[in-house]
Structure 1
Amino acid sequence: MASGFLTLISFFTRIPVGRKITYDENNFKRALSLYSLMGAVIGILLVAVYFLFGRTYIAFLRGLVLTIGYVAITGGIHLDGAADTSDGLFSGRTGERVFEIMSDSHIGAFGVICLIVILLSQFVLFSFADMFTCFLMPVVGRACLAVSCLGKKYAKKTKGMGTTFIESMDMKTVAVNLIFLAIFVVITPYRMIFAVSCFATIAATLFTAGWIEDKIGGMTGDTCGFIIETSQIIFMILVLFLKG
């Protein structure tokens, strides 16, 4: 389990783990129950950034540094997936042509728009978010992805790590990820606001995942990135709205 958790951190972030990690499918599958916990590791680093700039009177400076920090921590891996997903799903094409567009190394107009919207949203939302929201944001994003993959199949014909991730999300794995999320919500001072925001975000994520499944017949690694980035933005918007 520990080796699998380090694999998650190694493959889905740029956090140095101190040793060379080799991919083992069985360890990777077992560690998927800790996917939300990996989000907490990212959240702790974001809180550290928040404390460094939390006393500044220039809110947008804090928002900019947190946005850059998040991209640096994750390596932009989910941003890339979100852009590719937008290019494919909003292209108006169907069938295998959608996957060809998503696999193209060149970014299209919809991908550019998607990146602008995501980064601008993060910049603004981080500028007004408290440290608890910064901590929970990546946890919520990864819990939402776990839920969205439940019962889904890998949409592409070619198999890879995305196949293992998506098709290994069973009820037990999802439940453990949601338990981690619930624990982190309960220990915050705004537990009711966070609980409502999490519930609404998960509902929105299920709707999005269903729409993606209707379009391409399942999920892919790229759509996973799209789910994470959009769910995190939805969560932060809801928190700020409920806090008034």
Structure 2
Amino acid sequence: MNDDSEMMPVQDSRGIRARCMQELRLFFVALQFFSRMTVPRWVGFDPQWLQHALRYFPAVGILVALITALVYIVATLLWPQPVAVLLSTIAGIYLTGAFHEDGFADTCDGFGGGTTPERVLEIMKDSRVGAYGAIGIMLMLLLKVTTLNSLSPPAVVAALLIAHPLSRWMASVLVWRMDYAKMNGKAKPIAQQMSNPEFGIATCIVLLPVLVIGFLTSWIAWEGIVVGALLAGMASFWLARLFQHRIGGYTGDCLGAVQQVAEVAFYLGVLTAIAY
């Protein structure tokens, strides 16, 4: 009897340790897929893991935000604000391998040049960037840099730390609630809908920087956070409706487009709250 009772805590401890290691593995899988940052070799990769790793998409955003914010802070010590903002933006693009920017550009090309669902998907699959994509990504980056440059340094840091995970959470909403629009593509491994508990984990992760910045700092007022989140949500909802109407669901490029639009929409919301 005593032997059995002594074995149970050991088994429970091993089970908890294994569960924690699996969750850590899923985080690294998300980091490996959604960025160009290196991960430990023991992580490995299985396409089936990616579906469950999506719960840590906002966590990848937090890590990207911390690095871009650090680049911005260091750059402000050496150069004017516009240069610091631009260097921070470049750092974010480098860290993610322009993964989301590429998705936004492909979405602009597909929905700008396609008239049928089949044609939209065909254009989005083309690796070449057309006029809609080139103009769209240029204007998106210009709007992002200009908006951040209009904020105070503390507000820039706060906006980065919230917008990156929040915009990725907005993209994960599409996976949670919508169907995948085609049978193959770079997002197919995550094409299965997220479960409610997985989406709950993603939601808790994105709330972390919001609560920390909102309650523990004075870098940005709650009005800015709320208005930014509302504007990001409205933009994401509009895109989701567009995707559903035009192609019957989402693709990997659509997720990238939502991330980019939601990010810049949050910055615009913060600026709106400060200006008025």
Fold conserved (TM > 0.5)? yes
Query: Displacement of 1:161 after TM fit?
Result: 5.1
Comparing 208-217 and 51-60, the one that deviates more: 51-60
Aligned-partner Cα distance in 2 for 1:204–1:15 = 29
Q: What is the DSSP-based 3-state SS (H/G/I as helix, E as strand, rest coil) of the residue aligned with 1:150?
A: helix
Provide the rounded CA distance (Å) in 2 between the counterparts of 1:56 and 1:81. Answer: 33
Partner residue of 1:187? 212
Q: Does 1:133 align with 2:155?
A: no
Report what 2:17 is aligned to: none
Runs of at least 4 residues of structure 1 off by over 4 A? Answer: none
Structure 1: 5+ residue stretches without partners: none
| 1:152 equivalent in alignment to 2:178 | yes
Indicate the larger mover: 207-216 or 185-194. 185-194
Task: Tell me whether 8-17 or 171-180 shows the greater mean CA deviation.
Answer: 171-180
Contact 1:147–1:202 under 8 Å retained in 2? no
The share of aligned pairs that are identical, in percent, is 26
Q: Which residue of 2 aligns with 1:211?
A: 242
Q: Amino acid of the residue matched to residue 255 of structure 2?
A: C
Superposed CA offset, 1:126-149 (max 9, x none): 323421112222111111111233
Give the C-alpha shift of residue 239 in structure 1. Answer: 0.7
Question: Among 51, 56, 59, which residue is 1:29 paired with?
Answer: 51
1:55-66 paired onto structure 2 within 5 Å: 55-56=77-78, 58-66=80-88
Name stretches of at least 5 consecutive residues in structure 2 with no aligned partner. Answer: 1-22
Q: Residue 114 of structure 1: CA displacement?
A: 1.0
- Count of residue pairs brought into register by the alignment: 243
Single out whichever of 45-54 and 182-191 deviates more from structure 2: 182-191
Cα distance in 1, alignment partners of residues 227 and 211 from structure 2: 12
Determine which of 189, 195, 201 is the counterpart of 1:170.
195
RMSD across aligned C-alpha pairs, in angstroms? Answer: 1.9
Alpha carbons 1:81, 1:224 under 8 Å: kept: yes
Higher RCO (CA < 8 A, seq sep 6+): 1
1:17 maps to 2:39: yes
1:8 has 2:33 as partner: no
SS of the counterpart of 2:183? coil
| Structure with larger Rg | 2
Whether contact under 8 Å (1:82, 1:223) holds in the other structure is: yes
User: What one-letter code is carried by the residue in structure 2 that aligns with 1:216?
Assistant: I
The TM-score, its normalising length taken from structure 1, stands at 0.91
Could you tell me whether the CA contact under 8 Å between 1:147 and 1:206 is conserved in 2? no
User: Which residue of structure 1 lines up, in the alignment, with residue 9 of structure 2?
Assistant: none
Task: Give the SS at the match of 2:198.
Answer: helix
Q: 1:75 to 1:20 in 2, by over 3 A?
A: farther
| DSSP 3-state at the match of 1:154 | coil
Distance of 2:266 and 2:149 partners within structure 1: 15
CA distance 1:157–1:17, shift in 2 (3 Å): closer
d(CA) in 1 for partners of 2:209, 2:249: 30
Greater helix fraction, Structure 1 or Structure 2 = 2
Task: Tell me which residue corresponds to 1:196.
Answer: 227
1:95 Cα offset (Å): 2.6
C-alpha change, 1:232 and 1:171, in structure 2 (3 Å) is: same
Q: Quick check: 1:77 aligned with 2:103?
A: no
